[in-house]
Structure 1
Amino acid sequence: MTEATATSTHHLARARSFLFVPATRPERFAKALASGADAVIIDLEDAVAPADKDAARHALLLAMLSLNPAQRGRLLVRINAAATPWHAGDLACVREWVTQGLGAVMVPKAESVAGLADVARAAGPCALLPLIESVAGLDAATTLAACPQVLRLAFGHLDFQADAGLACAADESELVPVRLALVLASRRAALPAPVDGISPGTQDTVQLASDAARGRRGGFGGKLCIHPAQVAVVNAAFTPSATEIDWAQRVVAGFAAAGGGVFSLDGRMVDAPVMLLAQRTLAHRRDDNQAG
């Protein structure tokens, strides 16, 4: 199996919703896994105070032992960034988490191949999700996407705005070229579609739905969530609708009937690029209860 094939068949490659849970709240892990989220990110970084980092690592391991293998495979751990005092402590523990069946490691402030290589050496055979959160990370995105063990890119757009000195409007039109750059970097490396950043308003479902729809239109395949109430909206946004599935099936059937030639469907021309879009739509068809 080639590396590209292995990446495309990883159980987190098609995950739509990634729900953050603080590592200091192990009683929430199972609840988060039962929320409908395709993946759960145990956060050792922003959600954990400096004085609690050691206890959080220990609590994470104990909590993992209480989960079944399928649940562990849906877990990611967001470790602390390389420039922090807690990064080395995370790397000292990550191999044990992987041994217990951890699905992937999210690497914040990803900016260099060397930094990803350090995490890969510590983790062993585990998927990595570099989190692009800075201008330096954006500059390195194509190189990072091509690194061994990288499963998908993720966008930390709030940190990116702060690093770049941006003050984005609600529609974040200022970030359109940045998001496109991550989609193109993923495509060059034959990775699954990247994961978009959070929507801060946990009760604003209108804005969340708009953000998720924008992400899907822009080539993203999933979104980070900070509250269980966001999961269903995100899953729906990144799942083809019944109308889209019906259209895609009719395209495939019509293309076969036309012997692979150009034909007309609903008054519009259908050729090879439209066929490819239909195939991709069908590839993302899924049961809404399916996770990961």
Structure 2
Amino acid sequence: MTAAPRSWLFVPADSEKKVAKALASDADAIIFDLEDSVVPAQKAAARDILKGLTASEVEGGPQWWVRVNPLGSEHLKQDLELLGRSAIHGIVLPKAEGGWDVVELAHRTGSIPIHAIVTETAASLFGLLSYRTPQSPLAAMSWGAEDLSAALGAASKHDSDGALSFTYRMARSLCLAGAVAAGVQPVDGVFTDFKDDQGLRAEAEAAAREGFTGKLAIHPAQVATINAAFTPSADAVKHAKAIVAAFAAQPDAGVLSVDGKMVDRPHLVQARSILERSK
């Protein structure tokens, strides 16, 4: 099974220079963007750039994903014509409002994995549990504050103290819970100030503590910090192995002592998750 990407790096698909830099980065996944970062007049040129990428560039490198234009867009049909290329790993669907949007897209694309961005419209906040659909090609869910704040007519997505406002914290939490309920990867949203590495590190580490297993990036400079935040530390792996070993030795136990602390079955689930991500 392919490991879930820690870093998901957006790159405007109409810039050959930026595409080349993204491919040379250490990102686990590249999202070639055909939507917001590409104006309508440049969308055809962006598709031509993606058509010109050779499949050999993906060997041993990041997963290739394409953010297509939203359902209902006049550009979507041409975007989906790119998916016949074997190097494309999956689709990123923007402005998804419910699991039914994933189903609709899957009817047109088959079993190719889908990463849905699930909090970009007002209506989307009411459908976060609907992604729990049997036999869905959904692989990941992420959240976005920029489009949501525009959709809500907000003057800012931050409180006066600079913290993210409640509405957007709620959207983030609902995305996390919705993804876990659907059994897919929860991916944290972008940190827009790509020059503030300290702020990015704090946000990424907080996301990892809460349960997210990856994060969107908008610049190659953010990749190393994100990868580090979502890679379990050596101490965390050691402790997880000890928990797994303790329960393996006493499979009927409900509570055990490991490293001087009491652990129970939820800790075993967390330990297994840490070991899976450490691979």
Q: Normalising by the residue count of structure 2, what TM-score does the alignment of the two structures yield?
A: 0.87
**Taking every aligned residue pair, what percent have the same amino acid on both sides?**
35
Distance 1:118 1:256 in 2: 44
> Is the counterpart of residue 44 in structure 1 residue 34 in structure 2?
yes
> Is the counterpart of residue 116 in structure 1 residue 102 in structure 2?
yes
Distance 2:115 2:131 in 1: 10
Distance 2:41 2:105 in 1: 23
Q: Against the structure 1 CA distance between its residues 64 and 41, is the aligned structure 2 distance closer, same or farther, given a 3 Å change threshold?
A: farther
Is the 2:100–2:130 Cα contact (8 Å) retained in structure 1?
Answer: no
Q: Against the structure 1 CA distance between its residues 256 and 67, is the aligned structure 2 distance closer, same or farther, given a 3 Å change threshold?
A: closer
Q: Against the structure 1 CA distance between its residues 141 and 264, is the aligned structure 2 distance closer, same or farther, given a 3 Å change threshold?
A: same
Is the 2:47–2:82 Cα contact (8 Å) retained in structure 1?
Answer: no
| SS of aligned partner of 1:284 | helix
Is the 2:9–2:216 Cα contact (8 Å) retained in structure 1?
Answer: yes
Equivalent residue, structure 1, for 2:148: 160
- State which of 195, 199, 202 in structure 2 corresponds to 1:203: 195
| SS of aligned partner of 1:239 | coil
User: Following superposition of structure 1 onto structure 2, how do residues 254-265 of structure 1 map, counting pairs within 5 Å?
Assistant: 254-261=246-253, 262-265=255-258
CA offset digits 1:36-80 (Å, max 9, x no partner): 100000011122121111111122111245634555x71100111
Q: Against the structure 1 CA distance between its residues 171 and 238, is the aligned structure 2 distance closer, same or farther, given a 3 Å change threshold?
A: farther
| Aligned AA (1:103) | H
Is the 1:26–1:63 Cα contact (8 Å) retained in structure 2?
Answer: no
> Is the counterpart of residue 103 in structure 1 residue 89 in structure 2?
yes
Q: Against the structure 1 CA distance between its residues 259 and 157, is the aligned structure 2 distance closer, same or farther, given a 3 Å change threshold?
A: same
| SS of aligned partner of 2:25 | coil
Q: Which has the higher helix share?
A: 1
Q: Against the structure 1 CA distance between its residues 63 and 137, is the aligned structure 2 distance closer, same or farther, given a 3 Å change threshold?
A: same
| 183-192 or 233-242, larger mean C-alpha shift | 183-192
- State which of 14, 20, 40 in structure 1 corresponds to 2:4: 14
Distance 1:222 1:145 in 2: 20
Distance 1:29 1:124 in 2: 27
Distance 1:69 1:36 in 2: 13
Structure 2 gaps of 5+ residues are: none
Distance 2:277 2:26 in 1: 17
Distance 1:90 1:66 in 2: 21
| SS of aligned partner of 1:14 | coil
> Is the counterpart of residue 75 in structure 1 residue 75 in structure 2?
no
CA offset digits 1:63-121 (Å, max 9, x no partner): 245634555x7110011123443233323x2443xx33311100111114554344323
Distance 1:207 1:45 in 2: 27
| SS of aligned partner of 2:278 | coil
Is the 1:15–1:222 Cα contact (8 Å) retained in structure 2?
Answer: yes
| Aligned AA (2:35) | E
Equivalent residue, structure 1, for 2:128: 141
User: Following superposition of structure 1 onto structure 2, how do residues 180-199 of structure 1 map, counting pairs within 5 Å?
Assistant: 180-192=173-185, 194-199=186-191
| SS of aligned partner of 1:103 | strand
User: How far 1:146 moved relative to its partner?
Assistant: 2.3
Distance 1:42 1:263 in 2: 47
User: How far 1:260 moved relative to its partner?
Assistant: 4.2
Q: Against the structure 1 CA distance between its residues 232 and 95, is the aligned structure 2 distance closer, same or farther, given a 3 Å change threshold?
A: closer
- State which of 78, 82, 96 in structure 2 corresponds to 1:89: 78
Q: Normalising by the residue count of structure 1, what TM-score does the alignment of the two structures yield?
A: 0.84
> Is the counterpart of residue 214 in structure 1 residue 201 in structure 2?
no
| Aligned AA (2:12) | P
What's the Cα RMSD here? 2.3
Is the 1:76–1:104 Cα contact (8 Å) retained in structure 2?
Answer: yes
Q: How many residues align structurally?
A: 271
| SS of aligned partner of 1:283 | helix
User: Following superposition of structure 1 onto structure 2, how do residues 258-277 of structure 1 map, counting pairs within 5 Å?
Assistant: 258-261=250-253, 262-277=255-270
Distance 1:113 1:260 in 2: 39
| Aligned AA (1:160) | L
| SS of aligned partner of 1:19 | strand
